Amino acid sequence: MASTKYICILQDVNRFAMKFRLPRKIKKKLKKDFYTYPKSERNTYLIAWPSKYEEDYIAYKKGLLRGLKEESKKILKNEKF
């Protein structure tokens, strides 16, 4: 019979072994843009990688991230008119 200490260690290893995976088409779409979190108090931006990290993907789904390429296209489109 296995000791509870070893069972806990195995559970921790399994938790870290699980990799964050996205469907291929979603991952390709997310890699095409450059995402940042909103400005901090020090007027800096934190880069987000929603295609790589689950925390960033959750923030993307909640609408917290800004896509810089999308915003620049909107600005250019508004200036033309």
Q: pLDDT (tens digit, 9 = 90+) per residue, 20-78? A: 889 999 999 999 989 999 988 999 989 999 999 999 999 999 999 988 887 777 777 77
- Token pair belonging to 20: 């964050």
Give 3-state DSSP helix, strand, coil % of the chain, rounded to 5. Answer: 55, 5, 40
Q: DSSP 3-state assignment of 21? A: coil
DSSP 39: P
Entry pTM: 0.65
Number of alpha helices (DSSP H) and beta strands (DSSP E) in the chain: 4, 3
**pLDDT of res. 13:** 47
The sign one gets for the Cα dihedral 72, 24, 47, 56 is positive
For 21, phi and psi rounded to 5 degrees? -130, 140
Inform me whether the pLDDT recorded for 4 exceeds 50: yes
Predicted confidence at residue 72, as pLDDT, reads 75
